Amino acid sequence: MDTNTVFKIIDMLDALIESSNRVLNSDYPFDRELLIYEEGRKSSIESFKDYLQNGFIEPKVSQAEDQMNEGA
């Protein structure tokens, strides 16, 4: 998977997180089960986003920096 694809996935995950934030910050009186579900959904999405950033993007950035330093 290339970096651009991962960035697009991360953007989609950000949109899902924002959707969860709108539900959780709404004044509408949601029932308790929905709020628990939404918190879990948001947490899972954030964990997956962090995994992609830390497990894929950060190593690519480090690799690029190492290559730049070798050439300098």
1-29, pLDDT tens digit by residue? 788 899 999 999 999 999 999 999 998 88
pTM value? 0.77
Q: Is the pLDDT of residue 71 over 80?
A: no
The C-alpha atoms of residue 54 and residue 23 are separated, in whole angstroms, by: 27
Looking at 1-72, list the stretches that DSSP marks H as alpha helix, in order from N- to C-terminal side. 3-24, 32-52, 58-71
Longest CA span, the chain = 59
SS3 call for 2: coil
* Residues 36-54: tens digit of each pLDDT: 999 999 999 999 999 999 9
Please state, in angstroms and rounded to a whole number, the distance separating the CA atoms of residues 43 and 48.
9
Task: In whole angstroms, give the CA distance from residue 69 to residue 23.
Answer: 46
pLDDT band at 57 (very low <50, low <70, confident <90, very high): confident
